[in-house]
Amino acid sequence: MFTKNIIITGGAGFIGSHVVRLFVNKYPEYRIVNVDALTYAGNLANLKDVEQAPNYVFEKANILDTDAMERIFNTWQITDIIHLAAESHVDRSILSPMDFVYTNVAGTVNLLNVAKQHWLKDGEADRHLFYHVSTDEVFGALGETGFFSETTPYHPNSPYSASKAASDHFVRAYAETYGLNTIISNCSNNYGPYHFPEKLIPLFIHNIIQRKPLPVYGDGLYTRDWLFVKDHALAIDLLFHKGKRNDTYTIGGFNEWKNIDLVKLLCRLMDAKLHRTPGESEQLITFIKDRPGHDRRYAIDASKINKELGWKPTVTFEQGLDETIDWYLNNREWLEQVTSGAYQQYYETMYTRR
Ligand code: NAD
């Protein structure tokens, strides 16, 4: 008998697969129901090591499908949701914003509705939690100084961040209007194993391995905060169990990098790992036309989760990058599998017609 039956949406994606793995292994008393539509970003190979676990179930379903969500709620007597499923790539949101409206906004509202219908009718709302995983991009861009925190006003600039902002607002509204128990966390850029190679760090690792150009947007001076994905999963675990209900938390790595410096660091580390001449990979850096609406700088003040719950990153950037690069070098089959087919077409559209 399981003490909780938790849906994790988007569990076959990058961050979701780390959250699923952590919960399945750490909490054998919980049943984890991974709900994922397996879009281009979803990959069950990310979860090979847990798929046989007795407390793990996979449900291939779209979060927009109300009947499917109803069936899953009834079949598994769902007690909680950790919601990660989303269209997650800014560049794709610029190409096709409606996909982001459907999944990120309507999909989230559909899940909220199903949760509301099941959890509020028994009058025990406090026994349940809708945990919504979101991004720092909802806050817009920072100048040279300052940090995003829980009190920063929303100012989304891309179709992706606008869709995530809308979903955050709906979650908050369901807490206020209907009394659903919720938590929202807004996290900075993640990196680590199983990251789809359309995002900066895995894209550049992949291109360096293949000696392909490293496309850097604009002047390369865009600044991002980077957090190792396993530390994000640990923060989600902590907030799920101990976070204040109907509250929000910002999560970050205290680790800001200008894109160009990060790319040069990756080049140095990869040259050493691949026994190449120092400086060889840096020659691959190619500046390309800027992304429209590109936010200059993101940085997070994560002091609330640190002070209230003692969370802080467990690895340094160097340790996290080392583990990440080793993972990609040791899992070339995974990389080849995800970069074949549709990825090729997307890559051509994005990086070769400029
Ligand atoms: P991802 O793109 O790697 O994975 C998304 C997963 O959702 C995939 O498995 C995909 O198949 C699934 N999915 C997409 N649409 C679906 C639908 N309609 N129904 C069911 N499943 C669907 O994303 P990620 O990088 O792991 O991000 C996960 C969450 O964390 C997102 O909500 C994202 O906004 C948020 N986030 C990401 C980052 C980051 O750096 N990657 C940072 C902060 C917050």
Nearest to 115 by CA among 86, 83, 85: 83
Q: How far is the CA of 316 from the centre of ligand 1 (A)?
A: 24
- Please give the full DSSP string across 195-218, using - where no structure is assigned: --TTSHHHHHHHHHHHT--EEEET
Compute the chain's Rg from CA coordinates: 20
Q: Does the CA dihedral 83-11-23-14 come out positive or negative?
A: negative
Q: How far is the CA of 212 from the centre of ligand 1 (A)?
A: 27
- For a ligand 1 pocket test, name from 18, 39, 161, 262 the mutation site with the most ligand atoms within 8 angstroms of its C-beta: 39
State both tokens at 141: 């861009």
User: Rounded distance, CA 106 to CA 110, Å?
Assistant: 6
Confidence of residue 121 (pLDDT cuts 50, 70, 90): confident
User: Rounded distance, CA 35 to CA 38, Å?
Assistant: 9
pLDDT digits (tens, 9 = 90+) for 72-81: 999 999 999 9
| Secondary structure of 307-345 as H, E, C letters | HHHCCCCCCCHHHHHHHHHHHHHHCHHHHHHHCCCHHHH
Output the ligand 1 site: residues, CB below 6 A: 9-10, 12-16, 36-39, 41-42, 62-64, 84-88, 103, 107, 133-135, 164, 187, 189-190, 196
Sorted by where each starts, the structural domains of the chain and their CATH numbers stand as 4-191+225-251 (3.40.50.720)
* Residue nearest (by alpha carbon) to ligand 1 atom 10: 42
User: Rounded distance, CA 306 to CA 217, Å?
Assistant: 33
Q: How far is the CA of 13 from the centre of ligand 1 (A)?
A: 6
List 36, 59, 80, 136, catalytic entry: 136
Atom of ligand 1 nearest to the CA of 61: 20
pLDDT digits (tens, 9 = 90+) for 312-354: 999 999 999 999 999 999 999 898 888 876 666 676 676 654 4
Atom of ligand 1 nearest to the CA of 36: 21
Active site includes 348? no
Give the model's pLDDT for residue 344: 66
Active site includes 160? yes
Give the model's pLDDT for residue 354: 44
Tell me: pLDDT of 299 over 80: yes
User: Rounded distance, CA 301 to CA 136, Å?
Assistant: 11
List 160, 174, 222, 249, catalytic entry: 160
- For a ligand 1 pocket test, name from 88, 91, 105 the mutation site with the most ligand atoms within 8 angstroms of its C-beta: 88
Segment 244-273 shows an average pLDDT of 96
Residue 192 zone, left/alpha/beta (φ > 0; ψ -120 to 50; rest): left
List 36, 80, 87, 137, catalytic entry: 137
Give the model's pLDDT for residue 351: 65
Segment 21-32 shows an average pLDDT of 98
pLDDT digits (tens, 9 = 90+) for 97-109: 999 999 999 999 9
State both tokens at 250: 């910002």
- Contact between residue 311 and residue 256 where contact means Cβ atoms under 8 Å apart: no
Tell me: pLDDT of 125 over 70: yes
Exposed e or buried b for every residue in 239-254, given b needs 16+ CB within 10 A? bbeebeebebbbbbbb
Mean pLDDT (the chain) is 94
State both tokens at 290: 């800027």
Tell me: pLDDT of 52 over 60: yes
pLDDT digits (tens, 9 = 90+) for 268-294: 999 999 999 999 999 999 999 888 878
Side chain identity, residue 156: P
Distances (CA, A) of 25 to 21, 28, 35, 129, 170: 6, 6, 18, 21, 31
Q: Please calculate the CA angle 138-143-148 and round it to the nearest 5 degrees.
A: 40
ipTM, 2 dp: 0.99
Residues with Cβ within 8 Å of residue 323, at least 6 apart in sequence: 192, 193, 228, 315
Q: How far is the CA of 17 from the centre of ligand 1 (A)?
A: 10
User: Rounded distance, CA 147 to CA 298, Å?
Assistant: 7
Largest CA distance in the chain: 66
Tell me: pLDDT of 158 over 50: yes
Beta bridge partners of 101: none
Give the model's pLDDT for residue 295: 82
Q: How far is the CA of 14 from the centre of ligand 1 (A)?
A: 7
Active site includes 56? no
Is pTM beyond 0.90 here? yes
Give the model's pLDDT for residue 296: 86
User: Rounded distance, CA 64 to CA 87, Å?
Assistant: 13
Q: How far is the CA of 335 from the centre of ligand 1 (A)?
A: 18
